[in-house]
Structure 1
Amino acid sequence: MNQSVKTNINESFDAIKGAHVLSGDAEKIQEYYDQWAAAYDSDVSNEEYIGPKYIADLLANLKGDNGLKAIDASNKNIEILDAGCGTGLVGIVLKQKGYHHVDGSDLSEGMVEKARSTGAYNVLESEIDLTKTNEAYEDNQYDATVCCGVFTLGHVPPTALSELIRITKPGGWVVVSTRKSYYDSTDFQEVCDRYQQEGKVKLVNHVKDGPYIAEEGAHYWAFAVC
């Protein structure tokens, strides 16, 4: 490996790690990602980030069974929100799969501008903080909500899952990734269990330590909204 390539990879790793120490502070996260937007795709590519493809594949294969009345996610006309869309990596994969109605949201306007350039989204919203109830979205608005790379160190707490549930229709899907180190250091499992006990969601598919990024894997969760 030549020195310039090695340097780029080291810088990419440092950029990703820098995002992990933002302590969930929305203002710091927004500023960091605004500045990172131009280099983001290159940095995560250097680190072999395949979470977007994996989560889109997982979504596309979801359907109701065993008495569960749920939306057939293989239907290309369903309405999908890519929550925390970043530069649009998930949206690009969904478009390639033939989905026609994909919206996106992110805290960072800089990232949303990059996502807009992909042409993968119908509507994009910036300054969307998943730790709050966002007036941009109505209750039960989407058939599926996908969230990749957001439940990670220094970003949102596990309870942000409740906002994804709120904006998703009964019978719809909430599909998220949790980076393994995030899952191990938070109460995500307890929150997941509580929301199921409260009858808000049913966990239909769970992939443990699936492919995510070179450094480590992620757990993937597919919830049907009750």
Structure 2
Amino acid sequence: MKINTEKWLTNISIHPKDVEKEYDSISHSYDAELEAKGYLAPQHAATIIKNHVSNTDSLILEAGCGTGLLGLELNKQGFSNVTGMDISALCLKKAESKGIYAKTVKHNLLEQFPFPDKVFDCVACVGVFSRFNEAQIKEIVAQFARVTKEEGIIIFSHREDLITPLLHKTLDELEIVKVEKVTETLPYFSIDEHYKEINIRFFILRKMKYTKK
């Protein structure tokens, strides 16, 4: 099945089973099609991570890793201790075939993560949050924070057209993380008629040693 980016703008699947089925169906062609559409978010994310995580032995969780596009870019940057987590078994199978993940886990982001507290130096999530509302994003970021070490980094991307004041308020309500930076806008797909007006931003959060209160 070919990737229909117009559908991603107008009819985004949010039920876990629908998301799993959708990504299973496009897993075989995902990499080639996104490359043809000029998808640069993984490269941008890897650069941001490298700028904030200097030790390439750091433990990184990639939440919603798909077929491993970000994992591949992290591997190029020298990171070798990356765990990939995704809801699609077929996407994970393709990610595993790249030989870039220390471990992969099939899991739904809206369920309790199967990791202990304070395990990872960095959690990254790219091209995922357009499927979730602010309350769900808060829940997921809280899980990111739980499994991130104190002073660790959380990085996620979000479409600029979906970033609302409520999202900023929601993130501020999380007492254990601090938004350190929101990047300038970057193109989502540089070669795609449906996404030519759509940009993304990256949120860079710090896991705090103490709560805000």
TM-score, scaled to structure 1: 0.81
Q: What is the rounded CA distance, in whole Å, between the counterparts of 1:23 and 1:121 in structure 2?
A: 27
The reply on whether 1:193 has 2:172 as its aligned counterpart is yes
Match of 1:205 among 169, 181, 200: 181
Q: What percent of counterpart residues are identical?
A: 26
Q: What is the rounded CA distance, in whole Å, between the counterparts of 1:115 and 1:48 in structure 2?
A: 20
Query: 1:42 matched to which residue of 2?
Result: 32
Query: 2:211 matched to which residue of 1?
Result: none
Which residues in structure 2 correspond to 1:1-226 (within 5 Å)?
A: 12=3, 15-19=4-8, 21-62=11-52, 73-126=53-106, 128-134=107-113, 136-152=114-130, 154-155=131-132, 157-159=136-138, 160-184=140-164, 187-195=166-174, 198=175, 200-214=176-190, 215=195, 216-226=198-208
Q: CA deviation at 1:155?
A: 4.5
Q: Secondary structure at the match of 2:110?
A: coil
- The one-letter amino acid paired with 1:205 is K
Q: CA deviation at 1:151?
A: 1.0
Q: CA deviation at 1:80?
A: 0.5
Change (3 A) 1:133 1:166: same
Q: What is the rounded CA distance, in whole Å, between the counterparts of 2:168 and 2:33 in structure 1?
A: 30
Q: CA deviation at 1:202?
A: 1.4
Q: What is the rounded CA distance, in whole Å, between the counterparts of 2:28 and 2:132 in structure 1?
A: 20
Q: What is the rounded CA distance, in whole Å, between the counterparts of 2:71 and 2:189 in structure 1?
A: 18
- RMSD of the TM alignment (CA)? 1.7
| Preserved contact between residue 84 and residue 104 of structure 1 (Cα < 8 Å) | yes
| Preserved contact between residue 51 and residue 148 of structure 1 (Cα < 8 Å) | yes
Indicate the larger mover: 156-165 or 101-110.
156-165
Q: CA deviation at 1:104?
A: 0.4
- The one-letter amino acid paired with 2:46 is A
TM-score, scaled to structure 2: 0.86
How many residue pairs get matched?
197
Q: CA deviation at 1:78?
A: 0.5
Task: Structure 1 unaligned segments of length 5 or more: list them.
Answer: 1-10, 63-72
| Preserved contact between residue 207 and residue 220 of structure 1 (Cα < 8 Å) | yes
Indicate the larger mover: 26-35 or 174-183.
174-183
Q: CA deviation at 1:192?
A: 1.4
Q: CA deviation at 1:23?
A: 4.2
| Preserved contact between residue 172 and residue 178 of structure 2 (Cα < 8 Å) | no
| Preserved contact between residue 131 and residue 163 of structure 1 (Cα < 8 Å) | no
